[in-house]
Amino acid sequence: MSKTISVIGAGYVGLITGVGFARLGHNVICRDINKKAVDTINSGRSHIYEKGIDEILEKAVGKNLKATIDLKESVLTSDITFICVGTPSKDNGNINLKHVKEVIRDIGEILKEKSYHVIVVKSTVTPGTTEKIIIPLLERSSGKKVGIDFGVAVNPEFLREGVAIEDFLNPDRIIIGSYDQRSGDLTEELYSDFNCPVLRTDLKTAEMIKYASNAFLATKISFINEIGNICKGLGINIYDVAEGIALDHRISPHFLKSGLGFGGSCLPKDTKELVFKARSLGYEPNLLTSVIKVNEDQPKRLLNLVRKRINSFNGKKVAILGLSFKGDTDDTRDSQAFPVIKQLLKENANITAYDPKAEENTKILFEDQIQYADSAKAALENSDIALILTDWKEFENLDFDGMKKKIVIDARNIIKNKENIEYEGLCW
């Protein structure tokens, strides 16, 4: 049976969640504080780049999906509210709950006027947060009792940007942690069209499943990068090694792509937060700190490779191809391209960058310090060296004519056409 769902925060996660539920036939209200984003959504288009999203939005807007800046209307007219506002990390690695706390406090006020309502936390919060911070805040601001007057659940997302719609509609599993049976049942009903396993847990177990999943994926990447770094020294291609180990079903072929390391809004942040949490318990998480260290060293290794080929970056024209944290997204949060750019700027390189989608988001950090080209070809023109930092498919068969010297350092194993160039891979 279709339900009315409000989604608070219509960013990468919230908008996909809203669009996904609309596609399943539910009525959806997406609430965001960003008026421009709300207007764009209501015109049937997405304010973020994600494959396939505009097609669904166009059909759903005016039918069973709308966006608003009005939080009260969103909560009062819905059966269930998903919290999807961002939870960026503080500099020390601790989670920043500012946005979550603000909307939770406001929702509590609104709940004063509402009979039983379910709040589902989809934003990533460290284990214990919903129980110790979110529920007490809701009870205080609403004057009501959890489990009786309102329900609370945790339903983490496992969406990969670039294929997020596909991931929403074909999940490996649905994880639902709940305070009360009723809120868990209501959340589960929303996903009744799916055949995948549904795991019901308590609140903090569901929160931990999200962190453990991302920490494991991060570990897999740093593992393959470490083996890759050793392989490089031995003259072995890590991609051949990965193919060999992936045939063992216990290992699986996924997340074994060696290169510049992991970025994005989740893997770096969640791994660091888990380290912070562990330390707050008096436990030193040696494995996770190494995972982070290997990842932070990959951009440095890349620059060291380049230094072996050109003595100094001073005044050299460096073409950077790829700025987003991975291909098929405009998202640059924690992109591994950024530490490379920062260091090159420190060493007075003259950078021209190109990315099919991420130029605007890069300009937030590097407005005038680097030049932006409209195409890969234009970025390469007259450059001394090309660094390939993101796995955009359009880079596969580039021709490097027009470069001063055709030195190409590939940090993502994406270049197929290696004829007539001086090619080197980061770990292969």
- Per CB under 6 A, residues contacting ligand UDX are 9-14, 32-34, 37, 84-87, 99, 102-103, 123-124, 157-161, 214, 217, 221, 255-257, 259, 261-267, 325-326
Dihedral of CA atoms 364, 7, 46, 334 in degrees, nearest 10, equals 30
> For residue 271, what are the CA distances in angstroms to 106, 114, 124?
30, 38, 12
The closest of 351, 361, 296, 298 to 329, measured between CA atoms, is 361
Q: Which two tokens stand for residue 413?
A: 């194993």
Q: Which lies closer to ligand UDX via its Cβ, residue 49 or residue 262? A: 262
Q: Which lies closer to ligand UDX via its Cβ, residue 25 or residue 244? A: 244
In angstroms, the CA 374 to CA 354 distance is: 7
For 329, the enclosing helix (H) or strand (E) is none
Which residue is catalytic, options 30, 231, 266, 427?
266
Place of tokens 């965001």: 32
Minimum CB separation of residue 99 from ligand UDX in Å reads 4
Q: Residue 49 in contact with residue 330, Cβ under 8 Å?
A: yes
Residue nearest to ligand UDX (CB): 11
Minimum CB separation of residue 217 from ligand UDX in Å reads 6
Q: Is 266 a catalytic residue?
A: yes
Q: Which lies closer to ligand UDX via its Cβ, residue 256 or residue 373? A: 256
Q: Which two tokens stand for residue 22?
A: 């609309």
> For residue 47, what are the CA distances in angstroms to 20, 34, 137, 245?
16, 10, 31, 40
Q: Which lies closer to ligand UDX via its Cβ, residue 232 or residue 326? A: 326
Minimum CB separation of residue 330 from ligand UDX in Å reads 11
Residue 189 three-state SS: helix
Minimum CB separation of residue 315 from ligand UDX in Å reads 30
Minimum CB separation of residue 78 from ligand UDX in Å reads 15
Tell me the chain's radius of gyration from C-alpha atoms: 23
Active centre residues (catalytic): 266
